[in-house]
């Protein structure tokens, strides 16, 4: 017999508020967002935020807005109490950040709250206190005009939610991300943030977007940003990077709609569409794009945290964004100079380690189709691999597995890019030609593919994918003590990152230390690199940003082995020889020798084939010889 369900009844208001808090209050950054937006709606021009333990222990937001009297302050903590709208039609004309009337009630339900406020016309202010219930104590108090709200012990009465909070550094990173976006959307706002006794950021009011972008993003990034402006049905303003300054993921691309920080697929797609082939697949420009439109042209009531919007005409928005970006891309100098870099062939005495391609040329090469992650064919193919090339897999990259012995990746020479340095002494076992080193090298075609001859077939090797697999194995083996050589930097390099990227690098500092990186924080959005793997010879800043993006994309719930493989694959992809790099016969022979001693040499770490083979009889069929 089915158990009879309980009778339907109204939820206790306290339970209802705690449930609602689950939608509105996810972490300290959610509290900061709601309180700061209330300050802006109150007309504040200066907002001060003070945190303890990343906001887990204490959050204080103070402003110079118009303030509240006692009756209004009490009503502000009631659910669905708001001054922003009166009828449902008002939702179509929203010009404020907040409007739901849920934020303060939700925050009060899961924390201890103290509100202090005074209006300009009042002689004294009011102070209200509450701790997880709707009961509020009050007392008159002397205070400046404006409002200050202190939120302490977040989730003290909801321990199930408390365990989902991350480290103070991670929570601070989320708060910084919101404040950075807010600063870019409201350059007229003076914004300061303190963490403990330390001032973390201070953005004085400055209507010049270029100066505000320099303050928020850093001068090294801001100087590569170019202005965009479009005036039509929608107004589009902002500053975006040149194609060579692209970033893995949208972590350093801020999107604003009517000064509200949002995540929007229509705008993101329009930006990628405008850049077209100038950006490698999966990469995003850096900067800020602000879309201004009539309030009735969008719906802001589609997400409890107001982080998403819905446009009445997505097609018109897409057109406006593309129209704003395309003129900038057509006028900046790198497009007129051409995209294909000039790379001289290596001389007879040079090795692959001598290849030197500037970062701008490298980015241009990627934009022109030379990216290491170009979409190759998988599965069916006119050529096939033989058994000696390793197992074939057309799907995801093969997993190394924790049971694989470390000895399967030999201790290659420190400068792996210099294949001439790989000798038989570095590889255990008899000095005999292996399946790859035994091939007869014929030549390089397209500065991308190595053509070799076996006894019974033609073998074609993708030089980047093959080298990527070799480096991947070396990085994985490098987690064994002393297996990977590191190189201390004479002058430590500082790299600008998004706050969440800095947080994930610091969280994974032990793993990155095994791989040869010595990193430390150098401010809320900067990391200082003191050493790197000796194997890396390209742009170190680009490598660090790629590492951070890779760790974020993988998620923090990954097992250690999965994180290791993800990071190793990222490093290998960026350090490997690229399409467009010339290789002399000595370097090719070194690569073939290294491939003999690597697991799954026929596939790159991302599952893309590195080696293809066609038997002589198959070639004969092409020319009607059989």
Helix spans in 26-130 (H): 28-41, 70-76, 103-109
- Secondary structure (H, E, C), 456-511: CEEEEEEHHHHHHHHHHHHHHHCCCCCCCCEEEEEEEEEEECCHHHHHHHHHCHHH
Please report the pLDDT score of residue 433 as a whole number. Answer: 64
**Mean pLDDT confidence for 221-237:** 91
Phi, psi at 254, each rounded to 5°:
-100, 125
Tens digits of per-residue pLDDT, 398-431? 332 333 333 333 333 323 334 433 333 333 344 4
Residue 598 near residue 470, CB atoms below 8 Å: yes
269: pLDDT strictly greater than 70: yes
34: pLDDT strictly greater than 50: yes
Comparing 81-95, 129-143, 574-588, the range with the smallest average pLDDT is 81-95
Percent of the chain at pLDDT exceeding 90: 31
Please report the pLDDT score of residue 562 as a whole number. Answer: 64
The token duo for 424 is 């038989």
Please report the pLDDT score of residue 380 as a whole number. Answer: 30
Q: How far apart are alpha carbons 582 and 355 in whole angstroms?
A: 8
Q: How far apart are alpha carbons 275 and 242 in whole angstroms?
A: 10
User: Between 449 and 407, whose confidence is greater?
Assistant: 449
User: Between 235 and 485, whose confidence is greater?
Assistant: 235
User: Between 222 and 63, whose confidence is greater?
Assistant: 63
**Mean pLDDT confidence for 98-107:** 74
Average model confidence (pLDDT) for the chain?
76
Q: How far apart are alpha carbons 574 and 600 in whole angstroms?
A: 19
108: pLDDT strictly greater than 60: yes
**Mean pLDDT confidence for 103-131:** 94
**Mean pLDDT confidence for 17-24:** 70
**Mean pLDDT confidence for 227-245:** 90
Please report the pLDDT score of residue 195 as a whole number. Answer: 96
Comparing 59-73, 154-168, 180-194, 518-532, the range with the smallest average pLDDT is 518-532
Tens digits of per-residue pLDDT, 470-483? 888 877 776 555 55
Tens digits of per-residue pLDDT, 199-216? 999 999 988 888 999 999
Exposed e or buried b per residue across 477-487, where buried means at least 16 C-beta atoms within 10 angstroms of its C-beta: bbbeeebbebe
- Span between the terminal Cα atoms of the chain, in Å: 75
Please report the pLDDT score of residue 126 as a whole number. Answer: 96
Tens digits of per-residue pLDDT, 546-555? 888 877 875 5
Please report the pLDDT score of residue 151 as a whole number. Answer: 97
Residue 566 near residue 550, CB atoms below 8 Å: yes
Alpha-carbon torsion, ordered 555, 559, 561, 566, to 10 deg: -10
Q: Which residues contact 275 (CB under 8 A, 6 or more apart)?
A: 243, 285, 325, 329
Single out the residue of 344, 353, 342 nearest to residue 586, CA to CA: 353
Q: Which residues contact 14 (CB under 8 A, 6 or more apart)?
A: 109, 132, 133, 134
Residue 228 near residue 291, CB atoms below 8 Å: no
Please report the pLDDT score of residue 139 as a whole number. Answer: 95
Tens digits of per-residue pLDDT, 299-354? 776 666 667 888 989 999 999 999 999 988 877 654 433 322 322 222 333 333 33
Q: How far apart are alpha carbons 127 and 163 in whole angstroms?
A: 31
Sheet holding 58-63, edge to edge: 137-141, 125-131, 112-118, 146-152, 58-63, 46-52, 190-195, 198-203
Q: What is the DSSP letter of 146?
A: E
């Amino acid at each position: 017999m089915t158990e009879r369900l309980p009778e339907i009844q109204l939820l206790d208001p306290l339970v209802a508020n705690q449930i609602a808090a689950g939608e509105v209050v996810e972490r300290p950054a959610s509290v900061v967002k709601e309180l700061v937006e209330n300050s802006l709606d109150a007309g504040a021009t200066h907002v001060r935020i003070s945190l303890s333990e990343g906001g887990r222990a204490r959050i204080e937001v103070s402003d110079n807005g118009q303030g509240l009297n006692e009756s209004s302050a009490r009503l502000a903590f009631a659910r669905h109490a708001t001054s922003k709208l009166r009828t449902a039609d008002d939702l179509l004309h929203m010009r404020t950040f907040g409007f739901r009337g849920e934020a303060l009630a939700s925050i009060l339900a899961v924390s201890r709250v103290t509100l202090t406020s005074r209006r300009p016309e009042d002689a004294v202010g009011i102070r209200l206190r509450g701790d997880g219930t709707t009961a509020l104590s009050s007392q008159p108090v002397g205070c400046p005009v404006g409002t200050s709200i202190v939120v302490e012990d977040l989730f003290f009465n909801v321990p199930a939610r408390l365990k989902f909070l991350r480290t103070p550094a991670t929570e601070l990173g989320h708060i910084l991300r919101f404040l950075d976006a807010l600063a870019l959307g409201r350059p007229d706002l003076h914004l300061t943030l303190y963490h403990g006794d330390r001032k973390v950021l201070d953005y004085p009011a400055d209507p010049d977007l270029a100066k505000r972008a320099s303050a928020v993003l850093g001068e090294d990034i801001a100087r590569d940003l170019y202005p965009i402006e479009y005036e039509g049905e929608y107004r589009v303003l902002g500053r975006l990077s040149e194609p060579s300054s692209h970033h893995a993921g949208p972590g350093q691309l801020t999107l604003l709609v009517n000064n509200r920080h949002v995540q929007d697929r229509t705008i993101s797609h329009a930006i990628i569409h405008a850049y077209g082939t100038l950006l490698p697949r999966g990469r995003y420009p850096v900067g800020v794009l602000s879309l201004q439109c009539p309030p009735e042209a969008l719906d802001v009531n589609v997400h409890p945290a107001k982080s998403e919007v819905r446009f009445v005409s997505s097609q018109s928005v897409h057109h406006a964004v593309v129209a704003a970006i395309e003129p900038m891309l057509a006028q900046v100098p790198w497009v007129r100079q051409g995209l294909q870099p000039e790379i001289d062939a290596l001389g007879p005495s040079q090795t692959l380690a001598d290849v030197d391609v500037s970062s701008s040329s490298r980015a241009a090469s990627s934009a022109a189709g030379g990216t290491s992650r170009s979409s190759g064919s998988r599965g069916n193919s006119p050529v096939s691999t033989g058994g000696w090339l390793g197992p074939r897999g057309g799907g995801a990259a093969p997993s190394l597995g924790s049971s694989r012995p470390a000895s399967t990746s030999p201790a290659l020479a420190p400068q792996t890019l210099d294949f001439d340095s790989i000798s038989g002494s570095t590889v255990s076992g008899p000095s005999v030609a292996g399946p790859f080193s035994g091939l007869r090298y014929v030549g390089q075609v397209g500065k991308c593919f190595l053509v070799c001859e076996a006894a019974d077939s033609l073998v074609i090797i993708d030089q980047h994918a093959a080298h990527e697999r070799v480096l991947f194995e070396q990085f994985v083996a490098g987690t064994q003590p002393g297996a990977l050589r590191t190189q201390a930097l004479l002058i430590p390099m500082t790299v600008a990152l998004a706050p969440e990227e800095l947080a994930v690098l610091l969280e994974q500092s032990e793993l990155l230390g095994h791989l040869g990186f010595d990193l430390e924080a150098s401010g809320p959005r900067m990391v200082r690199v003191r050493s790197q793997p000796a194997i890396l010879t390209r742009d170190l800043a680009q490598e660090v940003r790629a590492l951070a993006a890779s760790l974020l994309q993988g998620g923090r719930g990954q097992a250690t082995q999965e994180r290791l493989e993800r990071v190793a694959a990222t490093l290998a992809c960026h350090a490997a020889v690229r399409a467009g790099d010339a290789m002399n016969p000595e370097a090719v022979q070194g690569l073939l020798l290294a491939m003999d001693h690597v697991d799954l040499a026929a596939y790159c770490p991302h599952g893309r084939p590195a080696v293809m083979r066609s038997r002589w009889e198959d070639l004969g069929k092409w020319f009607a010889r059989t």
